[in-house]
Structure 1
Amino acid sequence: MKQSHDRSLFSWYRLFSVLWLLVIAMQWIDYTEPLWFDETTALVTVTLLSVAAIDLLPLRATWRWIIKAIVVMAGWRIVLIAYDVYLPSGRLVPDQLYGMAQQFTPYIWFSLAAWVFFELALELLNGKKRILLFLAGDLIAFAILDSFTSYYLWQNVAWTVFAGLGWLASLHFRSFQLKYPHGWNRLRHQPLRIAANIVAIFACVLLIGVSMPSVSPVLTDPYTAWKNRGGPGGNAAATPVSSTDSGSVMIIAPQEVISGYSRDDKELGGGFEFSYGPVMTVDTSVRSYWRGETRRNYTGKGWMDLSEEGREFNRIQGVSTGELPGEEIPPKVEIMQVEQTITMQNEEIYPVLFGGYTMGSVELLDEEEQQTGGTMMWAPKEAELHWEMNHQALTRSSQPIGRLYPKKYKVVANIPVIPLEELREASFETLYPADKENAYLQIPSGFPDRVRELALQVTAEGTTPYRKMELLQDYLRQNYEYTNQPDLSLKKSEDFVDSFLFEIKQGYCDYYSTAMVMMARSLGIPARWVKGYSPGTQPNPEYMQRFPETGMDYRVNNADAHSWTELYFGDYGWVPFEATPGFSAPVLYKQDGSVMTLADSSDLDGASRDNGKGMLESMSPETIRNLIIICIAVILLWAVYQLRSVLYFAFFRLRLGRPLTLGEKAVLQTQHLIRRLRRRGFNRSGDETLRESVDRWKEKQPELAATLDTLLSEFERASYSPESFSPQQWRIVREQSRKLMRMTRKRKKRERYAVMR
């Protein structure tokens, strides 16, 4: 019995070693998932999980290997049948065995290789130096793959570091246990204190990591440096900035992709780093998106270039546009005119002038631009004001080239005030008469059917176009992860929207806005893609008190570059929608007759729809899923606690390979009780018999004498008497054990209270 107890005492390190190695192995499976067939990934995952679980069973090595072989082969059969790789036919022996041998061969080598590596690592990584060398190899490999491929593997690195720290901590405690057994026994009596210290250290490391500000690296990673090695004259692509009338083109060397106003939208996607360089300040009384350009024709990879899409321009000479001609004002909305003074904060040249919503007029305010400026070209259907540099002024000017873009200008924006409740009830027939065609319903040939089906499914409960778009907006916001570095290794589909919705499932504004435009079009609702800037930020009140001269202007930087969706609702005109999580489109709504309130569309829409709904209906799917997982975990922990005695005896039954007798249960129960009593101050020296210890405890605590005598008597009968132990005696042992734990618990509470006093 003592030998069995010693083996169980030291089995904890094996358990943790298997756990940490399994976490590291899963990071490599995560990396290879896009490269392998789904069935191969499932096969390797099932194999490793099965092997790890069996490795923890308290069995002899021979039995473990036999069980592993049986379970792994059964896993191969189950997985490959589930993926339709193998269809069983005939009798198990010999027909199915022969069929499995033929079909399994291309797949099992991955599974066998993973199994072999796992077993070798578990046996060979038995010292600090070997573990550190193994971790270094993993981290270097991930770093190289992250730098020289399209994979983004820092999450894998983080989990590997976490598992490595856990493994080294476990090894440290294992070494302490072997070197200082008496000290280890004392530590075992305070497991919560040790665990709390370890958790606190890990939490501090993680907290520091997530709290660090996101900044661009000082040094360029090797892959980017290698791509950019040629500079303007090398193989890397150069970006044209402007051209002179002599036909020469100024170029800049390629750099890492950073946030800012996009010039080319023909192929969307990829990742970028945030840049916080200033763009402009906007002095206005109404918060708004700063609108730049729109796009109409989707190609499957991005948006058709302006030169191919075409525009009908009105050319405007001079420093003021006057009242800009445009399409008729939607008859069912009111217009609020808002002045916005825009001051550029950099020397960039932009293709358009920015303004809130659609522009009523624009006036240049800087005297230098009034003399050496360019030409403004108004596209009324798209509500865009393009800027064309004056090439003659360019050759005459001594100013830097960026000064030829207006430094300061004033926009009078026509912002619609939308009757929200009325629009929500407007039907398809009311908004979209059958005799009117709309260019903003274009969908390329070969557009994936599953995107259309998803749009229909998501919006099925919406009874009107606007309500359908509310459902679609919420679906995109709640079910896809926002990141500036999407995992493009998951992309398989050639269509940008299809790959975002069904494969990558993460991205930034271009992904969300393009998906909403195309899903809306698939439902027959005209939509267009818009790019510009989000509102930016205003100084906080404390800053304003210290520096009142700065004003309340909105400060817009490159990180505020953004794209969103505009949907057309007939007589109500174009309405902005925001599908990107973390953003909200500022829109004016008309409520309660003449009262107008400024609201963020996503917040107001959500609040209106939540009225009358239960708490669960207003939660996102992720929140509900996490709550379910937490509830299941709590229930499982409760069940384990309630069945702890059953599990305790089941463990020894597996070790012995036979059912326990009632006498053996009584002995184990008493030994377990004595270990628990040690934590409550009832120590026992190594040279004492149990009777001697009990006599000493009774002198110290006379009120426990009767219970201790009963337990001692039953323990000695179970250990030494040739007579069988009866069920009645077993019930006495259990009842007296519970009684003794209750009595000692009360004593411990009294001692704590006395110390506090």
Structure 2
Amino acid sequence: MRLKLDQSNRWVTLALYIGSMLLLMEWVYPLNIVTDTGETHVFMVFIVLMFALSLLQLPVGVVSTIKGFMLLVFVHYLFVDTTFFSFEWIGLLAQDMMQNIVATMQQNWQALTPLFRTILFLLLLWMLSYLLYYWFVVVKRPFAFILLTVLYVTALDTFTLYEANTAIVRVFVLSALLLVLANFHRIVEKESLALPQPRQWVKWLAPMMFVIGISAAIGYAAPKYEPQWPDPVSFIQAASAGGFGDGPGDGGIRRVGYGENDDRLGGGFQMDDTTVFLATANSPRYWKVETKDVYTGLGWQRSSDGETIANDAGQFPEMSQYGDVVGELETDFQLQMVEPGNLTKLPYIYGTDQVGTDQTGINFEYNPITGELLSLDDGEQMLVEDSYSFEATRPDFPRNAMRQVPVEYNSESGIDEGYLQLPEDLPERVSALAEEIVAEEDQNRYDYAAAIEDYFSRNNFQYATDDVAVPDEDEDYVDQFLFETQRGYCDNFSTSMVVMLRSLDIPARWAKGFTGGDRAFQQETFPDAGSGVFEVENNNAHSWVEVYFPDVGWVPFEPTVGFQNQASFSTGESIEDILEDNEDDTLDQPDSSEQSDVNDQLDEGSDEDETGAAASGDGPTISLWTTVIVSVIVVVTGGLVFYYRDHLTTAWRKRQLKHHPNQSTITQSYQFVMKLLAKEGYPFKPGETLREYASQADRVLDGKSMSELTQYYERFVYRDESLDARTSDYYQVWTRVTDQILSK
């Protein structure tokens, strides 16, 4: 269905439509704060394009084709590394769509890939551009969407970290303007009043703008009462017995936070929102603290405490030892401890290779066996009050290279066989389940690990922080979780994945630390970092899995339901490509088990362009700048087409009338003249005859051309006269009438 628009005043129409677009953007602004979404400007550009195309009123087929093409361009920029619209690209997209359709039919929502979820979100923005066009421009009823926007912004301000102080002012001012314009225009139409000329609009708008501006300024600057009720978020958290963390498990409630003792896992615990540290970062990242390698059946221990490496300058290349096939992006960040509690070691992101602090007398040591980074003052382990500065070459793990690694452990791979350790009394059904999970997978280490990572979400395992079982002395922690409770938190999921991987002869270990935390806006620790500061609390204590890949290194995996892997992944190049001097090879398609975060893909889009590490296509990919330039060209072109649309339509109608004169084209051409007159403020009134209407129009056109055109039209349509004799005369009169109207 193509929207029909009564544009008795194009400027009011345009203002309403732009206002609806700006309101929709208020829904997208908070996404990088309340979720892990990054690069929200990509969605902003998409919104502008969708609205511009809807406004042009081109044929629905043309608009849909252009919008579909732009959607594919944005998806390609965000996710695909191959050449745009190549056979390889089409194959990758088709395979991903088929996998997600199957997952949707099975109602396995956790298995939906980031690419598919992003397509759904872009389709939603597409549909909203159409619906808002109808609500704001056609029927001029914007109140419902305005109310939803106000509720949305205020709810985010109340229940999330999003600060809506300026957003609510923007929404108020914009909403007031839109409501006034829509209601004024509706009254004018209802009462058949003549709209003021564009120059007169200033007199109408100035008082309205003054009142709205004064109201907004007073509301923003006026003193506010302190909160009259407790913070609902704190109240909800206090009323909940949920949480997650580490520490000794006794089956009772445990306090969340980082703990040293993991000998006995299990049991529930309470939430603790104490801030452990603040850190600068572009996007959420795992903050690693340590790893453990011995699974006892009840918890985790270490086979060796290892030996630390000391370096007064804080340089530890051993921390970021990855193969040549791993892409790297240089970055730096800062970390300020607030209330570390039980934490005595420095958290760091993957790829960190140097650490320092302004406090004098501080030395650093790194333990390559346990992964611990220590801060020492005169030989005593401590965390300083000053901030720490880090440098890192953040890894971008290549899936293709990891798919080239055989499943079975090889003693020549350079990794200790201890990472295959399992208790002798491990129930056989654990290893049998692991073999069943990977039975239909390609026999390589990455696909096996990804299949097990995805197993829990595909089989309705529940993430829970209360009523979590504690195994008896003669029970196995993993066996109980996999076959009895299927309910737990990060420790249950990560431990189970490590054990199943080891049962398949894949080296793996248990990693501990923190998730990325939430963006901190009201902080003074890093005043120049803006929104690039994350607050990590005790609630963010977490555990995950690391799998070893020769020529790549230790790669993190995230099996916990409801969590996304915060490491960076790309298609990458295979080992064969490197050995054969970059000879082209077929790219493998990531399957639905690869739980890459949509937000990681958004954040890494620009990073990959800088480093080139993720590029593996045969030709250049479309960059964001190219997309922006194309978008600007499309918008400008669309604006010109919109502005001169009547002239363009007239030219097309003129051509049709000249080369294909028949009853249909004559009828359409006459109705088009009526539309042009309606836009000039002279619509056809109910009960009025065509001759009466033509007579009124002639007064505007200063002649009798419209009456003459109407006589021809009536003879052709109502008297069924032959068209051959007078079509040229009708054509000349029609041309004269349209030229007169367009010259007004």
TM-score (norm 2): 0.41
Which structure: larger Rg?
A: 1
TM-score (norm 1): 0.40
Q: Which has the higher contact order (CA 8 A, sep 6+)?
A: 2
